[in-house]
Amino acid sequence: MMRRYLIALARVVSATALLIVILWAGNFPYNTDTPPTSAELAAARKYYTEIYKKPVDDPAPAETDYDRKYQETAEQAANGAKIVERVSEFVEHFNLAQKLVLEIGSGRGYLQDIAENYVGLDISPSVARFYHKKFVLGAATALPFPDDSFDGIWSIWVFEHVPNPEQAFREMRRVTRNNGVIYLFPAWNVDPWAAQGYRVRPYSDFGFLGKLIKASIPFRSSSEIRTASLLPVRLSRALAARFGPTTLRYERLQPNYDQYWVNDSDAVNSIDSYEGALWFLSRGDECLNCGDSPILLPMVGAPLIIRVHKSATS
């Protein structure tokens, strides 16, 4: 009897271990930074330049319907997430109102009046006309500022659009002063099906494989499945961090620059929030809102608030 029990238990343990390995292998973020081609950079710059050319409320011909939809969707998302209120609270809590602050990926500059000494940076030259405070044209991966320039930095829904996000992390940390603070709020864990709009398009738009993908989304996006998929990865990454500063790992996505089906149809990567936190923590920085167990960080909808602690070697 005992022998049968032990055999059954061994089978259950083996099946569970196999499932964990499968989940780990299927969800491990294999991608790291690779230099984008000149064509990829040109396509991204052209895309965002065109989007920001016209104000949202301007009458627009049919060919700018896409641009208008992009802006309207972004504005609705920002209002729904109370971005102005959240960043204002960040500025007030860390006494940044009179200090030099930077927004990376500042778009139309709708947050420029939250702090007095504000600098906005964006890849699109067409947004410059929306600013009455300092605007700098540039990319997140090559910030045109000296080391230790800013007391505070924030970036909202930007890093999922950056082809080399670790380089952008590195640059952001470089220009932050020691004990400065960062409010980092990309769209964490972007759905790989966002680019093709599987959630919002009818089944009739897809072939057999597409129909299967669409039908699987409620299951794949449930909190239970997402947690079960990501927890083994987070545990393995926590182990890796014990051996020194981590390399940022993420899933590379194919952006859709032709049709903006849903938020982040144009995302080029998907970063887990814990992976982002671990990158800073493994360099000696402090996550001020990670709690006692950063490994349990929410997968979506929450920023990282980082205090940078620089040393002679970091």
Ranges 28-32, 88-92, 117-121, 222-226: which has the least confidence: 28-32
Q: What is the pLDDT of residue 277?
A: 98
Give the domain CATH number at 143.
Answer: 3.40.50.150
In a domain, 295, yes or no: yes
Q: What is the pLDDT of residue 302?
A: 94
Q: What is the pLDDT of residue 284?
A: 96
In a domain, 24, yes or no: no
Residue numbers of the domain that contains 175: 31-307
Question: Per residue in 252-309, pLDDT tens?
Answer: 999 998 888 888 999 999 999 999 999 999 999 999 999 999 999 999 999 999 999 9
Q: What is the pLDDT of residue 69?
A: 65
Q: What is the pLDDT of residue 48?
A: 65
Q: What is the pLDDT of residue 63?
A: 40
Residue 58's pLDDT band (cuts 50, 70, 90):
very low
Q: Rounded distance, CA 314 to CA 310, Å?
A: 6
In a domain, 162, yes or no: yes
Which H/E stretch holds residue 152?
A: strand 150-156
Which H/E stretch holds residue 87?
A: helix 83-93
Of 181, 183, 184, 185, residue with least CA distance to 308: 181
Q: What is the pLDDT of residue 41?
A: 63
Decide if pLDDT at 23 tops 80: no
Question: Per residue in 130-188, pLDDT tens?
Answer: 999 999 998 999 899 999 999 999 999 999 999 899 999 999 999 999 999 999 999 99
In a domain, 17, yes or no: no
At 265 the three-state DSSP class reads coil
Q: What are phi and psi of 76, to 5 degrees?
A: -60, -40
- Compare 57 and 226 and report the one with higher pLDDT: 226
In a domain, 9, yes or no: no
In a domain, 215, yes or no: yes
In a domain, 10, yes or no: no
In a domain, 313, yes or no: no
Question: How many domains does one find in the chain?
Answer: 1
CA distances from 210 to 26, 200, 202, 216 (A): 19, 13, 10, 10
Q: What is the pLDDT of residue 257?
A: 86
Burial of 304 (0-12, 13-18, 19+ CB in 10 A): buried
